[in-house]
Structures are given as C-alpha cells and as structure tokens.
Structure 1
Amino acid sequence: MSDDSDAIRQLTHAEHQPDNIPQPFSLLLENFQSPANVGAVFRSADAFGCRCLYLCGTTIVPPNSKLRRLSRAADKYVPWQQHSCAQTLVRSLKAQGVRIASLELTANSTPLPHWQPTNEHWCLILGAEDVGVSAPLLALSDAVVHIPMFGHNSSLNVGSACAVALYQMACK
C-alpha cells in the first residue's frame, strides 16, 4: 500500500520553487497612501512575476515596516522605482514602446475577461483606493479595463483588484 500523505501535504515556503521568469507587464501606482495597499500590490507583483513596480506621486515607498509585513518582504524581490510624476513616467514608457492600460471602471472600459492584450510589454496603472486612476492618466492609456462585479459593490479593494488583473494578464 502506498503512502499518499506526501501527495496531500502542503509545501512550506522554503520548498516552493519560484519560476523567476519576469512577465511582460509592470505596474504603476499613483498616490497610494495606505502601506497595506502598497504591501498587497508588492505581494501580488511578486506572485505574478511583474517586471517593475513604479511608485508615483505620494505613494508610500520602502522602507516601511507595515508595507514590509503586509508584502511578506516582497519589496526585497520586486524591482521598484520611485517617480514624482506619473504622467511624465507614462510618456517616457510609451516612448520606449510600453503599452499602457488603466484598471478603472468608466463608461467605455472593457471588461477584463474580454481584453486581449498583445504580447508587448504592458504597464497597468492602479489608482489610489479613494479616487481611482486620474483623468490625465486615463487619457494617456492605450486601454482602460475593469473587473466585472456581480454583487452590489462596483469595485474590489485595490490590492484584491490588482491580484485579479495580474492573474488575468499572466494567463492570457
């Protein structure tokens, strides 16, 4: 009789073997004031192999103990840059051939499951929890996408929304 206990045993973090293959996408955060939200985004960025995390405007940056704790130290593994002006950064990224998408519910946004991003490098913009993606960044975007909601609320917490969007992008 075989021992199936190893087949159902949960792996420890030390046993996990990451792929370490950067995906063709990065993230831009504009004016995130909550270290919990920044930490959650760092953790998702690490999980899905994000190339870079751009922390713009007044976004909280490492080192920050609450961010580090909530990211499970992902800020040590995800490449990140701080930029004072998100619009200037987006214009620079576009000049380098990076496509820009914003995660925001608008009158003309595309449901995330219907979005078919090309194989180019994409940078996904996330707006602060209380105000969303700013109008100037929406205007610079090549695509605006939203996560369809089936309940009463029109959106998820930005950390959860980031994870859903990155999963969708990684699995395309």
Structure 2
Amino acid sequence: MDELNRKSVEEFRESSKMPIIAILENVRSAYNVGSIFRTADAFLLEAIYICGYTAHPPHKEIKKTALGADETVSWKHFKYINDALLELKNEGYTIYAVEQAVNSLKLNAIEQFDGKIAVVFGNEVSGVEQSTIERCDGCLEIPQFGMKHSLNVSVAAGVVLWELVRNKLQTGNLR
C-alpha cells in the first residue's frame, strides 16, 4: 500500500476535493452505485448525491463493489432530486445531465469546465428524467461510434468523471 501511495481514510477525509458532485437519479443497481462510489474515491470527488429510489449506504451490494469507498466518500440522500438540484444551485454549482439529447455538449469538445460542477447520472434503462434535464444547465454526451449507443451507468460515470477531473487538472481550475 505504501508503494501505491494510497491515502488512509483520515488522509482522504482531510484531502482537498475536486469541486465535482455526482448525482444518482433512480439508479436501480446497488452494484452500480458501489462502483460509482469507488470512482468518486479514486478521483477525490466532493460528494455523491443519491436521489429517488437509488440504494444508499449501508447496503450489502454497495459495500461489495465500493470496497470501502462508501466509508470515505461524502454522500447525501434526497427523496426528491429537485431538493438536491436546488441545494446545488444555491451553492453555485453548474449542473449537467449526462444524456443524449438535442443540443448536448460532446464531452470531448469542451475546452474548459469552470467552477463547481454537478453531473446527473440516470436510471440504467430510462436515463435521466426529462423533468430533471429541464432543470439542468445543459447536457453532456459521451461520443459513441458503434452499434450500441449507451454505456452502463457506472462505466459512463467513470468516463465523464475522469474527463471532468482531467480538465480541471489541465486548466488548474480546481475551485
């Protein structure tokens, strides 16, 4: 562990976080939730907001895939996503839905993400709810070129969150 330069739980909690929050809206699989916790830990995200019927800790299936990240990453549960969105707007976050939509921004074409960002990941089958999209500042889309034009929500979260973190590291726009 020392050679891998891993942080202890205490060091993780005290570390400066990326100004990015992942919002999970009605994600069915607790395994996907756990995987996203693990990704959030790896990239030192600010938090995860868990909305609707998405499973939240403590949960056996989350624990199985999170591998302890459910103990390190800050999270909040909201029965209604509108409450989460309102809180984030009031705290100055720009909110994007991750969804294939008219006028969506291609993730690879954005040169700079300014300020604090929150991204909404939706249900594995139906995606982000239209009413949620309408409350967001825009949509981000992962360009895809094959026959399938969807990714598992935990894979999509990994791609999008890494791109946001990479962008902030390159531009020095960490706050």
Which band: TM-score by shorter chain? 0.7 to 0.9
Q: How does 1:103-122 map to 2 (within 5 A)?
A: 103-122=98-117
| Among 35, 41, 52, the residue aligned to 1:46 | 41
Shift of residue 87 of structure 1? Answer: 1.3
Matched, 1:137 2:126: no
- Structure 2 partner of 1:17: 6
1:36 Cα offset (Å): 0.9
8 Å Cα contact 1:87/1:136 also seen in 2: no
Higher helix share: 2
Question: Aligned pair in 2 of structure 1 residues 84, 116: CA closer, same or farther (>3 Å)?
Answer: farther
SS at match of 1:24: strand
Give the paired residue count.
161
Q: Identity of aligned pairs, percent? A: 30
- Work out which of the residue numbers 137, 140, 150 in structure 2 matches 1:155: 150
Give the TM-score normalised by structure 2. Answer: 0.86
Q: 1:89 to 1:117 in 2, by over 3 A?
A: farther
Residue of structure 2 in register with 1:7 after alignment: none
- Find the aligned partners of 2:75 and 2:35 in 1 and give their Cα distance: 14
Query: For residues 150 and 56 of structure 1, what CA distance do their matches in structure 2 show?
Result: 30
The Cα offsets for residues 106-153 of structure 1, whole Å up to 9 and x where unpaired, read as: 122111011245331111100010110111111111120111112111
2:50: which partner in 1? 55
SS at match of 2:45: coil
Tell me by how many angstroms 1:16 deviates: 2.9
Whichever of the two has the greater Rg, that structure is 1
Gaps of 5+ in 1: 1-11
RMSD of aligned residue pairs (Cα, Å): 1.6
158-167 or 65-74, which moves further after superposition? 65-74
Per the normalisation by structure 1, the TM-score is: 0.87
Cα distance in 2 for partners of 1:107, 1:81 equals: 30
Provide the C-alpha distance between the structure 1 equivalents of 2:50 and 2:2, rounded to a whole number of angstroms: 27
